[in-house]
């Protein structure tokens, strides 16, 4: 049998089958195009997220470095010399009373103050009255700085809102340490 001798119904059936296959192929192509576009958008969004992440990390590093530099400048202001102490206080007795230290000379006072300021951070914000501290800038010479296992710090209210407990504060500080250590 030749092609010409096929009945008309068979020709129409093959034509419909061919149309259905073309239709399915067209839909698959359209779906593939949609998937390619979606994948392209997803990859673009992922690239943008990565770029934003890098930018934010850089901003955090800049902020931390700025804070560390500011802290370093503040700490440098707390370096005491005999001349500075003599300018601030009329007598050694006045200085000893102010710092609540027992020393025998201006030199030993300066040494104790500088040693203490290197080993601990002086809390600059006044504590709440129920904490019973008269002056947060007083450094007690009888306190053994080598035995510090835990350090109590006072967070300002806006900072405390962000950290529900000490574990959250420590984790944030560890993150900052990691970030700054990687960028040195």
CA–CA distance, 32 with 17 (Å, rounded to integer): 22
The whole-number pLDDT of residue 5 equals 60
> pLDDT for 26-42, tens place per residue?
999 999 999 999 999 99
Tell which residue, 106, 107, 89, has the closest CA to residue 98.
89
The whole-number pLDDT of residue 120 equals 46
The whole-number pLDDT of residue 79 equals 79
The whole-number pLDDT of residue 155 equals 81
Ranges of residues in the chain with a pLDDT under 50 are: 1, 120-147
The whole-number pLDDT of residue 34 equals 93
Residue reference for tokens 């102490």: 85
The whole-number pLDDT of residue 23 equals 93
The whole-number pLDDT of residue 130 equals 39
Residues 6+ apart with CB under 8 A from 153: 121, 123
Q: Within 13 Å and on the Cβ side, how many CA atoms surround 47?
A: 6
Asked if residue 172 lies in contact with residue 160, where contact means CB atoms within 8 angstroms, the answer is no
DSSP annotation of 4 reads: G
| Radius of gyration (C-alpha) of the chain in whole angstroms | 37
């Amino acid at each position: 049998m030749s092609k010409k001798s096929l009945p008309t119904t068979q020709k129409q059936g093959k034509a419909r089958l061919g149309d259905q296959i073309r239709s399915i192929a067209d839909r698959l192509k359209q779906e593939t195009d949609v998937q390619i576009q979606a994948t392209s958008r997803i990859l673009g969004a992922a690239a943008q997220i990565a770029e934003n992440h890098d930018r934010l990390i850089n901003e955090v590093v800049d902020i931390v470095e700025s804070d560390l530099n500011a802290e370093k400048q503040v700490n440098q202001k707390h370096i005491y010399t005999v001349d500075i102490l003599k300018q601030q206080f009329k007598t050694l007795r006045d200085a000893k009373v102010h710092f609540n230290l027992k020393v025998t000379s201006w030199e030993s006072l300066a040494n104790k103050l500088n040693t203490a300021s290197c080993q601990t951070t002086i809390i600059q914000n006044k504590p709440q009255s129920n904490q019973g501290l008269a002056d947060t800038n007083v450094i007690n010479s009888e306190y053994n700085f080598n035995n510090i296992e835990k350090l109590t710090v006072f967070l300002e209210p806006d900072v405390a809102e962000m950290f529900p407990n000490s574990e959250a504060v420590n984790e944030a500080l560890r993150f900052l340490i990691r970030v700054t250590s990687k960028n040195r």
